[in-house]
Amino acid sequence: MSINRQYDRLGERLTSYQRELLSVQVNVTQFLDDFHEHLHWLDVIDTSVVPLSDFTNSSNEAKAKVQEQQVSPIIGTDFYG
C-alpha cells in the first residue's frame, strides 16, 4: 500500500474522530445547560419552601401559634368613624 493511501485513511479516521468528538461536545454542552437549569430551579424551590422548624410538632403548639396570630378585638375603638 502506498504511503499516500495510508495518509488518506489516517485523514479519514481523524475526520471521523473529530465529528464524533464534536457530537459528544454538543451533548455535554446540552447536558450542562440542563443541569444548570435544574440547579437554578432547585435554588428557587429551596428559597420558597418553609423550613421544617416552622412546623409544629404537637397539637398544643399548633393551638398556641393560632392563639398568638389571632387578632384580639379592640374594645371602644371605632375604625370606620
d(CA 35, CA 40): 9
d(CA 48, CA 42): 10
The CA distances from residue 63 to 18, 47, 55, 56, in Å, are 68, 27, 12, 9
pLDDT at 38: 96
Q: Where are the domains of the chain?
A: 3-69
Query: For the whole model, what pTM was predicted?
Result: 0.53
pLDDT at 76: 55
pLDDT at 26: 98
- The grid coordinates of residue 43 equal 435554588
Q: 58: pLDDT confidence band, cut at 50, 70 and 90? A: confident
**Contact yes or no for 56/62 (Cβ under 8 A):** yes
Residue bearing the bigger pLDDT, 33 or 66: 33
Share of the chain above pLDDT 70, in %: 81
Position 75 pLDDT exceeds 70: no
Share of the chain above pLDDT 90, in %: 52
